[in-house]
Amino acid sequence: MSGGARWGLYGRYLLVIVLGLVWLAPTYLVLVNAFRKSTEYTGTGLWKPSGDFALFGNLAKAWDAADLGSGITSTLLYSVVAPALAAIVGALAGYAITVLRLRHGFLWFIVIYGCTTFPGQMLLEPLFTGYADTQLYDTRIGLILVYVAVDVPLAAFVMRNFFMGASRSVFESGLVDGANPFTIFWRIYLPMCRTALAAIFVLEFTFVWNDFLFGLVLSQSTDVRPLMTSVATLSNAYAGNTVPVILTGGLFVSLPTIALFIATQKLFARGLTLAQL
């Protein structure tokens, strides 16, 4: 390696490491201050570790203040059930359009996928008033319905692309064996696309877990309200929580998606490519 190339290599390492440290600084700050005793937070020396170990005490305070227990139960329900349902519903549509060759299938596909261009703000008012009129406001069913509907277009898009590449002979031999189209879907096609299904599930789990806006508009009671909406109220100036408590809350609700991301990084990346290309 020539001298110039070697210095180029050192330069690359240096730049990436410096930028990486900048990117880690917020995490460092969160950890340092989440471990700090809530009562000893004075707003000074924020960058210095305190030597306290008040993390769990802070978590208990955040837990009570924002009722994180109920938030976790309902958010876990939303972010598991809605993406799973959406994946199956979307896969059914993709299967009907490609394998069963639904008449005007492409048009139906455009109908399902076209609504991804709507900004969420166009949905909020009618969903709010409509939910109030139909007793769906502030119910878990209501939130699940919205999350499924929002997740379906992506699932249908990915599964349609996936099934277009799948061989049709599988379907025909299934027919010869006397199976009906749904059995063929459920027994053969759905298991065939396990990885793609898992990839969109991971992606949409993260989306639903991290949702703030739909929860804000469509719920109010602590046992329906999703986690992020609860955490936002924790940080509200009027709630009077101290910085260590607020940061601990923010850290805590982020751990599940960070863990999922690390565990399924390849799948996550695959989901992203499937969703975009």
Partner 1 sequence: MSQEVLTHDADVAAAGPRVRGRTRLRHQWWSHGMVAPSVLLVAGLLYLPFLWSLYLSFTHYDGTGSPKWAGLANYHALWDDPVLTTTLRNTAYWVVGTLVLPVGLGLLIAVLTYQLKGGTWLRLPFLLPYAISGTATAVVWGFILGDHGAINSLLSALHLPGGHVSLLQNAPLNTIVMVLAQTWQSIGVNILLFVIGLQSIPRETLEAARVDGATGWTLFRQVIWPLLRPLTAVVVGLALVAGLKTFDLVWIMTQGGPGRSSETLSVTMYRDAFVGNDYGYGAAVAVLLTVVGLLVSALYLGRQAAPKREFDVTGGGR
For residues 143 and 218, is the Cβ–Cβ distance under 8 A? yes
DSSP 116: G
Nearer to partner 1, 39 or 134 (CB): 134
H helices within 67-114, ranges in order? 68-98, 105-114
Nearer to partner 1, 103 or 194 (CB): 103
How many angstroms separate the CA atoms of 195 and 81, rounded?
A: 18
Q: How far is the CB of 93 from partner 1 (least distance, A)?
A: 4
List, in order, residues 6 or more apart from 100 with CB less than 8 Å away. 181
**CB nearer to partner 1: pick between 60 and 115:** 115
In the complex with partner 1, the residue whose CB is nearer, 69 or 114, is 114
The backbone torsions φ and ψ at residue 197, rounded to the nearest 5 degrees and listed phi first, read -60, -45
Least Å distance, CB 225 to partner 1, is 12
Task: Report the residue number, 32 or 60, with the smaller CB distance to partner 1.
Answer: 32
Q: What letter does residue 94 receive in the DSSP assignment?
A: H
Q: Cβ closer to partner 1: 24 or 56?
A: 24
| Shortest distance in whole angstroms from residue 54 CB to partner 1 | 16
Least separation in angstroms between residue 3's CB and partner 1 is 14
Counted residue by residue, the chain has a size of 277
Q: How far is the CB of 37 from partner 1 (least distance, A)?
A: 16
Give exposure, 55-69, as e/b (b: 16+ Cβ within 10 Å). Answer: bebbbebbbebbbbe
CB of 55 to partner 1, least distance (A): 16
Q: How far apart are CA 209 and CA 6, in angstroms?
A: 45
* Helix then strand then coil, % of the chain, to nearest 5: 80, 0, 20
